[in-house]
Chain A
Amino acid sequence: MRKFPKCLNRTAVPDLPVPCKQARVTASFSASQQAELLPGLFGEAGPLGQAAWSAPTVRSGWIQGLRSLAQHPSALPFLADCGTLDTIFSLQGDSSLFVASAAGQLLVHILGLSLQGPAEGPPSPQACDWPVCAQKIVGHIEGSLRSMATPQVTQALNVLTTTFGHCHGPWMQVLWERLSPLVACLLQEDPLPAAHSLVDLLLSVARSPVLSSSDCGLWETLAQTLRRLSPAQAGPLALGILKLQDCPQALRAQAFGVLLQPLACVLTAADQAPGPPGLPEGTTGDSVTVDTLLSSKSACAGLLCQTLAHLELLQPLPQRPSPWPQAPLLGAAVTILRFCNGSAAPASDVGGRLCAILAGCVRVQRAALDFLGALAQETGPQELVTQVSAVLLEYLRSPDSSPTVLKKAFQATLRWLLSSPRAPGCCDLDPDTQLFLRELLPVLRKRLCSPCWEVRDSGLEFLTQVTRHWGGQAGFRHALLASEVPELAEQLLRDPESYVRASAVTAVGQLSSQGLHATAASPEQLGGQKESLLAELLHVLSTDSEGFPRRAAMQVFTEWLRDRHADVAEDTERFVARVLQAASRDLDWEVRAQGLELALVFLAQTLGQPSARCPYAVAAPQATPPGPLAQALRALSRVRLFEFAFRALFDCDRPVAQKSCDLLLFLRAQATPSGGLQEAEGSPDVVPVEAALQRWRAGEQGEPLGDLEPEAVLAVLRSLDLEGLRGALAESSDHVEKSPQSLLQDMLATVGVRGENQADCY
């Protein structure tokens, strides 16, 4: 069965990769050399002239083969002499990006190998003393850099970037000293060729421990480059500099200034003040940045989005600039958001034009909301925090907010809400937050009625998150129960859109966990209604046509079991049995995997304190002491957990089988230390269990096993090679593809196809 597709593959792709693969996997370099195989494969007389060379897979395979070959230092002279290097150079510009990139990496590898190998100390700066391979490659790079043609310069810079990123020999310094004048020359060019690649190279050099510790004019080059690049190009470099561990303070200040410049422009444009207050000195919106912002809508949106994303990345880092200008950054984010929704009324001309450019720009809105959310890690002046709340409410309220913007607005709101200070001396929410909540909940209520499913979905996600964190806060509980939100969430369990149903399941599950479920509030209906939510979620699990709601229901059930939710605690065994029964029939592997998760929680609760290697060690509470083992095992048998787990062991989806394997291993570890069980009972009848396992292994469905004798289960468990199975399952799915055995099969298949007529494959 398996061979046919491989045969077909082989006929589709010319037959060259097989020998290439051979060089790679056999690794018998000297044998190949003696057999005169190499020049035919990789030399000038090799495959270049053949028709097969036009296939990118062949070129890619050729490079892979060379890469394996170049594990051997003794291969270097061959590479230098046979013209192979020239072919690699030309492949850097290959039409296939994969081939081009692999060629570049191969060059890096060869350069590293040749410079690392022979000499002990750092190589001499004189090129003539370097190995031939290194000389050729460096010569080629120098030539490319001098050419000033963007494609060549880009290739050379990319090779250098990778080299400085991956190699750490003392020769790196020599290499940089030799090449840095050429790089400096690039900076004089106008327009600057390959600016992005140049930034990458400089950052790679700066990160290299060999170079950054010694001052070789690098900092000066970086400062010069920052000045030379356009605002959009300079952003990534500035961020990279600020992320460096050791870097002169002046350069960091310059980089931070570059990064802040677009926001400074925005603040200036909005306020008409000479310079925005609070930003580091020297950070004023320069005319180049202003020109970029005003040049076109795409340029403006691009620069602002990039700046906001960079600052968002920088914000949580320990090496971020200090003092961190939290207040002006908050102000800038709010201003940008106001420009975007047209609510800002700038007095200046630049402000007016910015407003016209940014009005309704969804991309910038999303970036600014993300950034605003990130800034919630720290607070700011009360006045600004009030503005943040106001602008977030504006966005949440506005009918014009697009669904993706709204989602970001909800996320940012959540972060600000959760970071809001608690009132001193009491654990409830502070008055401002309560006020905000009172305004927010009607908006959420309306959003849950939106005709746009994405909006309903983000509303539910927000509800879930805020309930998870604040479910215990009296102020929140009161406000939520007074709103109509819990009822609406429950109604969305029947939404036509599956994503929304899934989010509604999660939200309602969370509300119920916190005792905030809609109907729980009315005491007269308490019993009946509570049962009905469990029944409703079970209904979703067993009947919903889409996977997402069923997965969500399983997650809620697992959570409920773990937290000993009141509905579950009433009759845990019945609950687990019903859930596992539904999960075992599910076609979605994630539901089955989640079923095993739930089974594991139940197992841990039933068998008591698990060993240290069980991830649920903390979750198992002390309050439920484990009963005698036999009794516990019988409980597991009653909920049909064994059958569920054994069946899952042979699941066609690897993650399910893996999880089942882990579960059974845990079960065995828990059950066997007490020992003696099987000896006391004599040898149990394992035949029906093993027969069923055989059938499942063969892929048959088979009949349910019925109640299993715990002893039989344990006996089967001991007889199974679970560790071996776990090892096999842990292998990645392509380990078979990459094994030497597979290569042999490939070769035999190719030969076979050549010999016979392959049309029979069908």
Chain B
Amino acid sequence: MKLYCLSGHPTLPCNVLKFKSTTIMLDCGLDMTSTLNFLPLPLVQSPRLSNLPGWSLKDGNAFLDKTELIDLSTVDVILISNYHCMMALPYITEHTGFTGTVYATEPTVQIGRLLMEELVNFIERVPKAQSASLWKNKDIQRLLPSPLKDAVEVSTWRRCYTMQEVNSALSKIQLVGYSQKIELFGAVQVTPLSSGYALGSSNWIIQSHYEKVSYVSGSSLLTTHPQPMDQASLKNSDVLVLTGLTQIPTANPDGMVGEFCSNLALTVRNGGNVLVPCYPSGVIYDLLECLYQYIDSAGLSNIPFYFISPVANSSLEFSQIFAEWLCHNKQTKVYLPEPPFPHAELIQTNKLRHYPSIHGDFSNDFRQPCVVFTGHPSLRFGDVVHFMELWGKSSLNTVIFTEPDFSYLEALAPYQPLAMKCIYCPIDTRLNFIQVSKLLKEVQPLHVVCPEQYTQPPPAQSHRMDLMIDCQPPAMSYRRAEVLALPFKRLFEKIEIMPELADSLVPMEIKPGISLATVSAVLHTKDNKHVLQPPPRPAPPTSGKKRKRASEDIPDCKVLKPLLSGSIPVEQFVQTLEKHGFSDVKVEDTAKGHIVLLQEAETLIQIEEDSTHIICDNDEMLRVRLRDLVLKFLQKF
């Protein structure tokens, strides 16, 4: 069993597991941090950005972080754990010769589609006049300013995919529900389990009859909107692959939400605007819910909240219809019936308004001071670029970063000097190290496999020994482009036995509680299932020619031969040979046993622990004689 690690980003994993003749890709996250090397794509031509000297316009903005470690066309299935971890899907399904199936839950697919749609929309609506790729040449790249000159494998950076590719990729997905068992070629069974992190987010169990691998990716034990995490089903795993822990282990989400609300209130009270760069789904639902409870107490009822995204409307509406994927509290609301999320009421009362972009209705309704939620969190494309340009000059305004995927200082770099206040409140509800250690104690896997980043404290806080995975035996770590042999051997395989064959068995008790029976059968293997079938009956003695022909078709199984056991004492065997008239017997010791040479008959008897060979030159009579002598020393069964 092997694990191929294709991504170096622990929260955007991409691993391939080879297990029992199946090749399973676990997630295909898209690491977009390299976009930070590019200038923002403004919706409105920005004189400041376009007048920057040199290296001004670059090409493509989305990048695939993959290597040629494995031929991706051999991947049989892709298991997706949540919508953030499927963003590279079009690159794999459309450009690698992939012919398999992708499995994901319905909310994952729908919201993943929204995220991809938004991304494509953001990139395509600001088409490039020119495109440069020569700089990717290593000789030129070396001359570029840092950090671009230090970027690794720029040649693998790709253009963003198109909507057509997205649709084609998504059409290859098969929808699954929690706890649904999916057979893969009869060899393994995969099952998604609720992971508590996002709508429809899953951990996966990959098991055969005797082995169980759990894949834990992006899980949360906090009470937010999704269904709680299913921990019990992870028990008794041989291997637990652990990825997608919180990116900000030192920040507690509750504290960050508090910080978010306080800063928002203070800015708005002083007449400033608040900009929240965010994804169109996920934490924003929880933020809106917190604000719903908070705005009245903070006297912010008259402040408009704007949510601007090409998919804003779909995102808000989708969240309300996936009731079965929500936590219990929200599910019960549906039966009242009430919308599970309170943002419905915010929209009804006109406190929250959503727009596909800053053009059109938004420009008519826009009123300041206000709070704007919009993408993209990298600040490199999307409507957020416009607001950064618009509000960056005033110290009354505040930008509050809630998504932990990008370094906020790097994201802000092209906008410097900046007068607006910047607050960093990363909200990451995924497991922290304390929760992981509790989880591992609870589910007790035999082996834990995780990215190497989790096995040591973060580089910036090397003394925080609490910020790493601590388990026994120590976790096996992997890094990008590594192939890991998973530490267990498959010892058993399940074989079914046909009822009529089972019926014919006569077990003998060889010691109390243990009975043995010999089985003679045909092993039939198809679709990774093994079945023992009764051997065909020997052909009746009075057989005509036709029948004989029919029996010839049957594989080699004539008469039932007894099983032999015991060992052959060489000295006695030699004496017996001599007694039966063989002279000039010579014995040679070998590594595995003995060779008895009958020089006169030019015959060789090779005696080993589990086999005996008689090699004689075309003398069947002699062979049978010798065989009978050998058999005298063995017990028949």
Whether, in the assembled complex, B131 has its beta carbon less than 8 Å from a beta carbon of chain A, the answer is no
A355 is contacted by which of B251, B425, B463 (Cβ under 8 Å)? B463
**Does B261 contact A399, Cβ atoms closer than 8 Å?**
no
**Does B464 contact A356, Cβ atoms closer than 8 Å?**
yes
> Number of B residues whose C-beta is below 8 Å from A?
29
B261 is contacted by which of A445, A449, A453, A494 (Cβ under 8 Å)? A449
**Does B296 contact A400, Cβ atoms closer than 8 Å?**
no
CB of A532, distance to nearest CB on chain B (Å): 17
Q: How far is the CA of A344 from the CA of B463 in the complex (A)?
A: 8
A451 is contacted by which of B261, B270, B434 (Cβ under 8 Å)? B261
Most buried by B among A398, A400, A449, A452: A449
Residues on A with beta carbons closer than 8 Å to the beta carbon of B298: 449, 451
A-binding segment of B252-260, B495-503, B590-598:
B252-260
Whether, in the assembled complex, A495 has its beta carbon less than 8 Å from a beta carbon of chain B, the answer is yes
Given contacts A399-B255, A484-B269, A496-B297, contact A446 B262 (CB under 8 A): yes
**Does A356 contact B255, Cβ atoms closer than 8 Å?**
no
Whether, in the assembled complex, A542 has its beta carbon less than 8 Å from a beta carbon of chain B, the answer is no
Whether, in the assembled complex, B290 has its beta carbon less than 8 Å from a beta carbon of chain A, the answer is yes
Q: Mark B270-302, 1 if CB is under 8 A from A, else 0.
A: 100000000000000000001001101111000
Q: How far is the CA of A353 from the CA of B468 in the complex (A)?
A: 13
Q: How far is the CA of A494 from the CA of B298 in the complex (A)?
A: 9
Given contacts A449-B266, A491-B299, contact A352 B463 (CB under 8 A): yes
A/B interface sample: 5 pairs, CB < 8 A: A342-B461, A357-B466, A399-B256, A449-B261, A451-B298
A400 is contacted by which of B252, B293, B465 (Cβ under 8 Å)? B252
Residues on A with beta carbons closer than 8 Å to the beta carbon of B434: 360
Whether, in the assembled complex, A345 has its beta carbon less than 8 Å from a beta carbon of chain B, the answer is yes
Whether, in the assembled complex, B250 has its beta carbon less than 8 Å from a beta carbon of chain A, the answer is yes
**Does A450 contact B464, Cβ atoms closer than 8 Å?**
no
**Does B464 contact A445, Cβ atoms closer than 8 Å?**
no
Given contacts A446-B266, A484-B269, contact A399 B466 (CB under 8 A): no
Residues on A with beta carbons closer than 8 Å to the beta carbon of B252: 360, 399-400
**Does A451 contact B297, Cβ atoms closer than 8 Å?**
yes
Residues on B with beta carbons closer than 8 Å to the beta carbon of A455: 258
A450 is contacted by which of B251, B256, B261 (Cβ under 8 Å)? B261
CB of A714, distance to nearest CB on chain B (Å): 51
**Does A450 contact B466, Cβ atoms closer than 8 Å?**
no
Secondary structure at chain A's binding surface: helix, strand, loop or mixed? Answer: loop
CB of B538, distance to nearest CB on chain A (Å): 71
Q: How far is the CA of A449 from the CA of B263 in the complex (A)?
A: 8
**Does B290 contact A356, Cβ atoms closer than 8 Å?**
no
Residues on A with beta carbons closer than 8 Å to the beta carbon of B425: 399
Given contacts A399-B256, A446-B262, contact A496 B296 (CB under 8 A): yes
Whether, in the assembled complex, B221 has its beta carbon less than 8 Å from a beta carbon of chain A, the answer is no
A356 is contacted by which of B251, B293, B466 (Cβ under 8 Å)? B466
Chain A residues 331 to 359 lying within 8 A of chain B, measured CB to CB, are 342, 344-346, 351-353, 355-357, 359
Q: How far is the CA of A453 from the CA of B261 in the complex (A)?
A: 12
Residues on A with beta carbons closer than 8 Å to the beta carbon of B465: 352-353, 355-356
**Does B297 contact A497, Cβ atoms closer than 8 Å?**
yes
**Does A451 contact B257, Cβ atoms closer than 8 Å?**
yes
**Does A451 contact B464, Cβ atoms closer than 8 Å?**
no
Whether, in the assembled complex, A67 has its beta carbon less than 8 Å from a beta carbon of chain B, the answer is no
Whether, in the assembled complex, B26 has its beta carbon less than 8 Å from a beta carbon of chain A, the answer is no
Smallest CB gap from B265: residue in A = A449
Q: How far is the CA of A450 from the CA of B297 in the complex (A)?
A: 10
Smallest CB gap from B464: residue in A = A342
**Does A346 contact B463, Cβ atoms closer than 8 Å?**
yes
Q: How far is the CA of A449 from the CA of B295 in the complex (A)?
A: 10
Q: Mark B462-483, 1 if CB is under 8 A from A, else 0.
A: 0111100000000000000000
Secondary structure at chain B's binding surface: helix, strand, loop or mixed? Answer: helix
Given contacts A399-B252, A399-B425, A496-B297, contact A446 B263 (CB under 8 A): yes
Given contacts A398-B255, A400-B251, A496-B296, contact A447 B464 (CB under 8 A): no
**Does A451 contact B250, Cβ atoms closer than 8 Å?**
no
Q: How far is the CA of A654 from the CA of B269 in the complex (A)?
A: 47
Which residues of B are in contact with A by a Cβ distance under 8 Å? 250-252, 255-259, 261-263, 265-266, 269-270, 290, 293-294, 296-299, 425, 434, 461, 463-466
Whether, in the assembled complex, A233 has its beta carbon less than 8 Å from a beta carbon of chain B, the answer is no
**Does A495 contact B463, Cβ atoms closer than 8 Å?**
no
Q: Knowing that A356-B465, A400-B252 are A-B contacts, what are 5 other residue pairs whose CB atoms are under 8 Å apart, sorted by A's residue number? A: A342-B466, A344-B463, A351-B463, A355-B463, A400-B250
**Does A345 contact B463, Cβ atoms closer than 8 Å?**
yes
Residues on A with beta carbons closer than 8 Å to the beta carbon of B270: 484
Chain A residues 397 to 440 lying within 8 A of chain B, measured CB to CB, are 398-401
Which residues of A are in contact with B by a Cβ distance under 8 Å? 342, 344-346, 351-353, 355-357, 359-360, 398-401, 445-447, 449-453, 455, 484, 491, 494-497
**Does B296 contact A451, Cβ atoms closer than 8 Å?**
no
**Does B299 contact A359, Cβ atoms closer than 8 Å?**
no
Residues on A with beta carbons closer than 8 Å to the beta carbon of B294: 451
**Does B296 contact A450, Cβ atoms closer than 8 Å?**
no
Q: How far is the CA of A449 from the CA of B256 in the complex (A)?
A: 13
Smallest CB gap from B264: residue in A = A449
Smallest CB gap from B291: residue in A = A451
**Does B255 contact A400, Cβ atoms closer than 8 Å?**
yes
Residues on A with beta carbons closer than 8 Å to the beta carbon of B263: 446, 449
Residues on A with beta carbons closer than 8 Å to the beta carbon of B299: 491, 494
CB of B553, distance to nearest CB on chain A (Å): 71
Most buried by B among A351, A450, A453: A450
Q: How far is the CA of A356 from the CA of B433 in the complex (A)?
A: 11
Q: How far is the CA of A446 from the CA of B267 in the complex (A)?
A: 10
Smallest CB gap from B250: residue in A = A342
Q: How far is the CA of A491 from the CA of B257 in the complex (A)?
A: 21
Q: How far is the CA of A360 from the CA of B435 in the complex (A)?
A: 13
CB of A536, distance to nearest CB on chain B (Å): 14
Q: How far is the CA of A356 from the CA of B249 in the complex (A)?
A: 13
Most buried by B among A342, A353, A451: A451
CB of B283, distance to nearest CB on chain A (Å): 15
Nearest first, the 6 closest Cβ-Cβ pairs linking A and B are A399-B255, A356-B466, A399-B259, A449-B262, A449-B265, A356-B465
Most buried by A among B265, B296, B461: B265
Smallest CB gap from B257: residue in A = A451
Q: How far is the CA of A447 from the CA of B261 in the complex (A)?
A: 10
Smallest CB gap from B296: residue in A = A496
Smallest CB gap from B293: residue in A = A451
Given contacts A342-B250, A399-B251, A497-B297, contact A450 B262 (CB under 8 A): yes
**Does B261 contact A355, Cβ atoms closer than 8 Å?**
no
Q: How far is the CA of A445 from the CA of B265 in the complex (A)?
A: 10
CB of A441, distance to nearest CB on chain B (Å): 12
Smallest CB gap from B261: residue in A = A451
CB of A272, distance to nearest CB on chain B (Å): 12
Smallest CB gap from A341: residue in B = B250
Given contacts A449-B265, A450-B258, contact A359 B297 (CB under 8 A): no
Q: How far is the CA of A353 from the CA of B457 in the complex (A)?
A: 13
**Does B255 contact A401, Cβ atoms closer than 8 Å?**
yes
Residues on A with beta carbons closer than 8 Å to the beta carbon of B466: 342, 355-357, 359
Most buried by A among B266, B270, B297: B297
CB of A548, distance to nearest CB on chain B (Å): 16
CB of A102, distance to nearest CB on chain B (Å): 43
Residues on B with beta carbons closer than 8 Å to the beta carbon of A449: 261-263, 265-266, 269, 298
CB of A297, distance to nearest CB on chain B (Å): 10
Q: How far is the CA of A360 from the CA of B255 in the complex (A)?
A: 12
Most buried by A among B258, B263, B294: B258
Q: How far is the CA of A484 from the CA of B250 in the complex (A)?
A: 30
**Does B262 contact A451, Cβ atoms closer than 8 Å?**
yes
Q: How far is the CA of A360 from the CA of B249 in the complex (A)?
A: 11
Residues on B with beta carbons closer than 8 Å to the beta carbon of A453: 297
Q: How far is the CA of A582 from the CA of B255 in the complex (A)?
A: 41
Smallest CB gap from A452: residue in B = B258
Q: How far is the CA of A451 from the CA of B266 in the complex (A)?
A: 12
CB of B121, distance to nearest CB on chain A (Å): 33
Q: How far is the CA of A351 from the CA of B463 in the complex (A)?
A: 9
**Does B256 contact A355, Cβ atoms closer than 8 Å?**
no
